[in-house]
Structure 1
């Protein structure tokens, strides 16, 4: 921008809307066809796919041909995943045996090159794409192996390749995703990929058409397809792999012979454990800013082996291989393509983006009221008060204790009058031990046949908080109707605003059931992935348990998803407003119905640090409404840790402070005055940014954009951003750099190339901008500060002024933070509706405002006025403009001179006080 020119800030209001509706369909599938087999020998380390030849094999030894074993150790693919084998046992599998000095790392028994496998027949065209038959002449070591596999290849879009491998002779369980986002017709000429096939032994290669880079190469190891063991290996395009959650990891996965198990488990986050959710999706960062993703749609237990070749091996113990490859070409496009398959996220209610407070240990309504009142007295924003299971009568859901919570309905109404919301926990386990006629949810459930059954057809009884419990089968339509009736009846007494579905892996305190589980190949499969507890039924139900669609063996990982769908639908029908559901268990597609939190994190600095990659991973999985328990759930926090966690938590998309009952209190008001001031500052900053955050959720809902975003998503060509997971972005505009170490008062933060402006500092005035060429900078970070930077070229809509709820904050004046680019331009937007009604975007009941700053004379902009009713009564109270090179001579608002403006020559920031109606087109101009 040159001297003497005018800069114009203007508003574009539009009411364009597109219909977007997704329905969930549960398709009935027969259970897997299997024969019984003997219970696994307790001396076997990990499974029983095939024994040592000296003990179990009478076949002639099939030694690999000369030269087939000559490969680098890091390129070996394990041929003895199930157990330790002697040289003879290994070679009887037709594999190579070459011991190494160390036991950890590369396998000693591994597949040779061109290991005998399936032979591919000719590809023939179909209405959906192409198909071929794979046949195996030489059996492998697997029991109940499929001699024939059907391959179908389809392409939903130019950037998505879809391959399915099925057994044509039996009906195996297949996950049927609901119709997601409509996709265009595939055009082979526009496809971003090319595919090559090796016929014998079968394998395929996917290349990026633009540069010939190999995205997948499955010829490196054999395809294996048996009744309870499906294996597919592939070389990887790079070692920069993210995804495959839910695990306690960095953003980039460790490829040094790492095993990850996807099997939902009630397990507090820690390393080397399968946690609450299963997301068989990964993204690979390639060179030159390109990326691709791969999704294995399979709900059975999965183990994924990563090795430094780089390469990856999928092992699923049921179902089919239903594989999607997303070609991007950039990281954000990969996520959009993935979400076109699993569904875009729901639009959360505005109030759910405020601050939530919970504790297991608010034992009465008096205690709960007192907590909310102390938050109010200390002027801490609080939108949602929660109760854990303390409220329930004898720990039974859909009840409340008549003595300790006798005035629960009145308490909720009091909260509503104060502009607050109320949420309580709802576990799926239904108490089965109450006398008949005394507990309606179980009595009605019995009549309506809604509970999961054991292998003999009787109700499976487990144990959770109320004692003996039955578990609803949410794949049954009648169960979903019963669930809604239970919620409706409870809501008529206690008008809750949302529901927290916990313990829904499902968790049980006895293994399998109170009566144990039958000995079968479902309970003890030939191969068991490395799960906590050693058996699939550890901490959950029997695998032979019967559900409407199939056995629990097939459906376990989807239990939380099916409950979230039922709960979301029930709340929508009962309240008639946007539902809020928070789930612990998760599976692809859950973001359409629920938010997620990261479970029982500990109150320590390591858990604080690892909460960032956990939140970012869920963003990749299509679950943008996610956060960790602020200040930690387990153990005692410290004042410093809680301050730093409140600062970081202010930038979780979902922010809740939640604490376990044995621990020291950690509500913000219990700490010293300096700590309280720092926490209050962080909360007030979050509340001022809620219009911007809400707009990010609108883009997530309508176009699959990420909310909390890894730096590599926005700067894919910057190699320094590839592994950053101690910082993150909100959208493309705000860079958050929290303190994650005890005692730190400064931090080294990476600022990608460009100009970055500090949103605020300790004195609430802007700091000098950073003109970065892509480098780490040492930033001051005293205890009362979290570093937040605005990226040049962006405009951030805010609402300023203290507010204790979003009801109040939504009435505050708007304020624009304008960060000019080097060329003097900036852009931003605002999505605004009533914040609670259903389908406002789909029905056009919203305002969408575009803010544009630029030099008059260099760009001509028109401003059509659309539906502006949602902004009636709201004003633009001011703006601050970063990057103004010299003091303005005057400022005009809609052509009239403005008296209230300032300029700081040290930071190049101009601030303007205004009172312009947001429901009308406006312009602000200044002359230099």
Structure 2
């Protein structure tokens, strides 16, 4: 029995049986204490250290029988796979050659094939499998540093016998553990993470964090317990396992799944890959971070800073195994205690997301297959004629000359510069696609990007030092090495040269896993352990080089084997930096491939989805997951990318997409148009209403992005973040919140005019009417005709809205309407962040306005905490109060009588206010 205890005000203790084992001799007990602040959340455990028992050939029958008995005592849910290699039919002989237990699964319905993938392993570790023991330990100013050693090598080649472990208490809510090979320099992820600068050593009177080291296995009992399976640390195979406090696990992107992961033998592979979203597949991004909910509403997070190909295995114990093929074990544990705090602590490590330029939050329109610039321009004009909001027009690869970057087709897209000029004249913007593959087949002197790239040596090389050539849209291509600063400057020069011809406003970087229509290169790849490692995670295609570059390819900072999943991040960083220099405003970049810290440089769209109702539903999980991962500017292709959507689907998707933080309609070549102007008047009107609704809520959304940028908050938020003690919210991914106040309940099924929505306990107000519903924590039916998406305001909130217009430039200059949703005691609070919408670092340079709105005892007050000139151009013209229980006899605005209306649904409205946003004001009633 192994238990852990999380000390909190209630001092609640949880235990979980790991396995039953026969008594074994206790050798010694080692306890390591790491101090935390007195107010910190604490995890504590104590575990015996036992003598390892390694199976030997020729053991007597009694020992063999005893071993079989021990194996049978291990519950199926707690069996950790000893033979995870794919494509191998694991026999008893193969299994026992690894000194592991072999027992076929008892239930045929739950059994995996003998290799154990996605089912109960037949071959699993016994309790006495050899692992590391602690041979020395020393205190440091921030924790401990020790040496780990083992005497017996395992079955993976280049097994490392001596390791160094460093444990650091970096803050009162963050622990960091690094396990390294002291004899060799191993690859470490080259992203900036904060370091701790505490000057004084931690005091003995602090609360303690007890860490026990077991000679059977190294483990770290923080929010986790890793005594359940052995630690592996070989040259190309690193693995450790941990029990989990519950089955409620989130994050671990990017995968097409529900928001709450299935822990029933579920393997999630991470290795960036160009593939349309599908289940059980490694997709575009790699994010080895999970959030775990615990009993009682607490939460913790875990981040493994490792970019190599990896599998993460979830099993129903519940437990989790990390299995990667390179780098080091460098992980952070975030102590929460609530889920929102976990994400703040994670984002503090990987980097806060950038504040987007204002028009990034408008409606974006794109398709692959406009064929000409005039056809794209015509859609823009139709959108204007129908009065449908649009801030940004995009182009896919068909604008290019022979699909080559930094060119445009001078015949079909001859009017592209004129279209961009027209967009700018109407306060609209233009975004173009760029793929990383640079055409390598043009005659010398005719294609500057490739010629200059060769001269500056910016391209990735093959194992022999030659420019690696793959194949993408323009044909044979070379790949820029964005890990090299020289490449960043070359990228900027190309962008600047093209911007002088077509003054684009933002960049869409696609195919940056990086994608390759070949496996590796035109010359193939070497046959060695890098291309064919001893263990290959479950990547699509079975090979690391499948539809990408050779693992042996050479980059400035390391081989591609280590750098692959970082490619999109590094391209985004180069692109954001170049745009800052070119347009001197906040850069707008949307990337397909992502890695931790991506939010600092770009947003993300969820890839090449399909025009199906299931994809509409799964887009919510994708949006929520990326908000957990510190990339809040995220959305799916509205109406779907591939296939042709039904009109009803496109309407419902536009309604949901109006509440994606990043909202873009995009579809594929040879598909019928799916922009709002392409549908019937009824559908077109419904889409228009949804987009106008988004534009009216721009002040809310912009303020949420400010809090994401400054504090690491989520924008699109799971219900469980606001109601962590309500277990019913843990699996909800058909609804979500904007911030803490606005509940979105979309229709996700065809042919219905209602939707069931879960309302956590409390008072909720219909956003449109102010009618209230009091919930005990229950699911309620909601009317949802084709032209409506259900929105509800949570009690105690104040939100600012504006009259919408065709662009956010116009909308954001309109007067404000403040809507207050009062609690039973008549209170509510809200806020507003405001600046010029485009200058870089306005918060950091104090060029912004920040206002708090509060309501109490029949009085609304506005308190300007920080002010700049932008707020002086905005007025507050209207204030509505939901939940005013009695009709007032008098309303005062800054102590002056004002006219008002009061409706039977308890809504008080005060109009024609004319209040300057930059000045404090009061509205009261009696």
Same fold (TM over 0.5): yes
Structure 1 range deviating more: 168-177 or 296-305: 168-177
Distance 1:192 1:561, change over 3 A: farther
Distance 1:881 1:261, change over 3 A: same
Aligned residue runs from structure 1 range 584-595, under 5 A = 584-595=592-603
Query: Any conservation in 2 of the 1:157–1:191 contact (CA below 8 Å)?
Result: no
| TM-score of the two chains, using structure 1 as the length reference | 0.90
TM-superposition CA deviations, 1:76-132 (whole Å, max 9, x none): 011111233321221221111112242422111110113111121132123553111
2:211 to 182, 185, 196: 196
Query: Any conservation in 2 of the 1:865–1:920 contact (CA below 8 Å)?
Result: no
Query: Any conservation in 1 of the 2:770–2:907 contact (CA below 8 Å)?
Result: no
Q: Distance in 2 between matches of 1:926 and 1:452?
A: 69
Aligned-partner SS, 1:279: coil
Q: For residue 147 of structure 2, what is the aligned residue in structure 1?
A: 133
Aligned-partner SS, 2:799: strand
Q: For residue 18 of structure 1, what is the aligned residue in structure 2?
A: none
Query: Any conservation in 1 of the 2:635–2:657 contact (CA below 8 Å)?
Result: yes
TM-superposition CA deviations, 1:481-508 (whole Å, max 9, x none): 1111111111122111100000000001
Query: Any conservation in 1 of the 2:761–2:777 contact (CA below 8 Å)?
Result: yes
Q: Distance in 2 between matches of 1:517 and 1:841?
A: 49
1:339 to 332, 335, 347: 347
1:91 to 82, 87, 96: 96
Q: For residue 291 of structure 2, what is the aligned residue in structure 1?
A: 283
Aligned-partner SS, 1:493: coil
Higher relative contact order (CA 8 A, sep 6+): 1
Offset, 1:873: 2.6
Q: For residue 799 of structure 1, what is the aligned residue in structure 2?
A: 802
Structure 1 range deviating more: 593-602 or 160-169: 160-169
TM-superposition CA deviations, 1:711-770 (whole Å, max 9, x none): 11111011111111100000001000000001121111011111111111xxxxx05201
Q: How many residues align?
A: 855
Aligned-partner SS, 1:164: strand
Q: Distance in 2 between matches of 1:925 and 1:821?
A: 16
Q: Distance in 1 between matches of 2:370 and 2:194?
A: 41
Q: For residue 241 of structure 1, what is the aligned residue in structure 2?
A: 249
Q: For residue 834 of structure 2, what is the aligned residue in structure 1?
A: 832
Q: Distance in 1 between matches of 2:439 and 2:865?
A: 57
Query: Any conservation in 2 of the 1:499–1:581 contact (CA below 8 Å)?
Result: yes
Offset, 1:180: 4.4
Q: Distance in 1 between matches of 2:208 and 2:264?
A: 29
Q: Distance in 1 between matches of 2:729 and 2:569?
A: 33
Offset, 1:903: 1.1
Q: For residue 34 of structure 2, what is the aligned residue in structure 1?
A: none
Q: Distance in 1 between matches of 2:196 and 2:679?
A: 51
Aligned residue runs from structure 1 range 28-177, under 5 A = 65=67, 67-69=69-71, 70-82=73-85, 83-101=88-106, 102=108, 103-104=111-112, 105-177=119-191
Q: For residue 392 of structure 1, what is the aligned residue in structure 2?
A: 400
Q: For residue 39 of structure 1, what is the aligned residue in structure 2?
A: none
Q: For residue 693 of structure 2, what is the aligned residue in structure 1?
A: 685
Confirm whether residue 349 of structure 1 aligns to residue 352 of structure 2: no
Aligned-partner SS, 1:468: strand
Distance 1:193 1:531, change over 3 A: farther
Confirm whether residue 714 of structure 1 aligns to residue 729 of structure 2: no
Offset, 1:566: 0.4
Offset, 1:910: 3.5
Distance 1:444 1:124, change over 3 A: same
Aligned-partner SS, 1:850: strand
TM-superposition CA deviations, 1:827-855 (whole Å, max 9, x none): 11100000000010000000001111111
Distance 1:615 1:182, change over 3 A: farther
Q: For residue 814 of structure 1, what is the aligned residue in structure 2?
A: 816
Confirm whether residue 888 of structure 1 aligns to residue 891 of structure 2: no
Aligned-partner SS, 2:455: helix
Q: For residue 874 of structure 1, what is the aligned residue in structure 2?
A: 874
Structure 1 range deviating more: 745-754 or 864-873: 864-873
Distance 1:749 1:452, change over 3 A: same
Offset, 1:176: 3.1
Q: For residue 18 of structure 2, what is the aligned residue in structure 1?
A: none
Q: For residue 784 of structure 1, what is the aligned residue in structure 2?
A: 787
Query: Any conservation in 2 of the 1:218–1:235 contact (CA below 8 Å)?
Result: yes
Query: Any conservation in 2 of the 1:180–1:344 contact (CA below 8 Å)?
Result: no
Aligned residue runs from structure 1 range 473-512, under 5 A = 473-512=481-520
Query: Any conservation in 1 of the 2:864–2:919 contact (CA below 8 Å)?
Result: no
Query: Any conservation in 2 of the 1:826–1:852 contact (CA below 8 Å)?
Result: yes
Q: For residue 915 of structure 1, what is the aligned residue in structure 2?
A: 914
Query: Any conservation in 2 of the 1:241–1:284 contact (CA below 8 Å)?
Result: yes
Offset, 1:898: 1.7
1:729 to 732, 737, 760: 737
Taking only aligned residues, the RMSD between alpha carbons, in angstroms, comes to: 1.9
Gap runs ≥5 in structure 1: 1-56, 208-214, 761-765
Q: Distance in 2 between matches of 1:460 and 1:495?
A: 32
Aligned-partner SS, 1:194: strand
Aligned residue runs from structure 1 range 544-583, under 5 A = 544-583=552-591
Q: Distance in 2 between matches of 1:312 and 1:654?
A: 32
Aligned-partner SS, 2:221: strand
Q: Distance in 2 between matches of 1:891 and 1:512?
A: 73
Confirm whether residue 651 of structure 1 aligns to residue 659 of structure 2: yes
Q: For residue 302 of structure 2, what is the aligned residue in structure 1?
A: 294
Offset, 1:206: 2.1
Query: Any conservation in 2 of the 1:332–1:705 contact (CA below 8 Å)?
Result: yes
Aligned-partner SS, 1:600: coil
Offset, 1:589: 0.5
Distance 1:865 1:501, change over 3 A: closer
Distance 1:200 1:793, change over 3 A: same
Aligned-partner SS, 2:527: coil
Aligned-partner SS, 1:562: helix
Q: Distance in 1 between matches of 2:208 and 2:421?
A: 57
Query: Any conservation in 1 of the 2:862–2:921 contact (CA below 8 Å)?
Result: no
TM-superposition CA deviations, 1:24-67 (whole Å, max 9, x none): xxxxxxxxxxxxxxxxxxxxxxxxxxxxxxxxx99767968464
Q: Distance in 2 between matches of 1:585 and 1:497?
A: 21
Gap runs ≥5 in structure 2: 1-54, 113-118
Query: Any conservation in 1 of the 2:880–2:907 contact (CA below 8 Å)?
Result: no
Query: Any conservation in 1 of the 2:171–2:196 contact (CA below 8 Å)?
Result: no
Q: Distance in 2 between matches of 1:85 and 1:651?
A: 49
TM-superposition CA deviations, 1:543-567 (whole Å, max 9, x none): 0000001100000000000000000
TM-superposition CA deviations, 1:148-188 (whole Å, max 9, x none): 11111111111111111111111110113214497767857
Distance 1:461 1:862, change over 3 A: closer
Query: Any conservation in 1 of the 2:754–2:782 contact (CA below 8 Å)?
Result: yes
Structure 1 range deviating more: 119-128 or 688-697: 119-128
Query: Any conservation in 2 of the 1:425–1:500 contact (CA below 8 Å)?
Result: yes
Aligned-partner SS, 2:366: strand
Offset, 1:774: 1.1
TM-superposition CA deviations, 1:349-396 (whole Å, max 9, x none): 011000000000111111111010000001100000001111111110
Aligned-partner SS, 2:689: helix
Query: Any conservation in 1 of the 2:850–2:864 contact (CA below 8 Å)?
Result: no
Query: Any conservation in 1 of the 2:463–2:552 contact (CA below 8 Å)?
Result: yes
Structure 1 range deviating more: 751-760 or 456-465: 751-760
Query: Any conservation in 1 of the 2:847–2:868 contact (CA below 8 Å)?
Result: no
Distance 1:706 1:118, change over 3 A: same
Aligned-partner SS, 1:596: strand
Q: For residue 32 of structure 2, what is the aligned residue in structure 1?
A: none
Query: Any conservation in 1 of the 2:339–2:721 contact (CA below 8 Å)?
Result: yes
Aligned residue runs from structure 1 range 409-808, under 5 A = 409-760=417-768, 766=769, 768-800=771-803, 802-808=804-810
TM-superposition CA deviations, 1:850-899 (whole Å, max 9, x none): 11111169x9x794674241112321110111001122212222222223
Confirm whether residue 206 of structure 1 aligns to residue 221 of structure 2: yes
Q: Distance in 2 between matches of 1:303 and 1:728?
A: 29
2:320 to 294, 297, 312: 312
Query: Any conservation in 1 of the 2:214–2:227 contact (CA below 8 Å)?
Result: no
Query: Any conservation in 1 of the 2:639–2:674 contact (CA below 8 Å)?
Result: yes
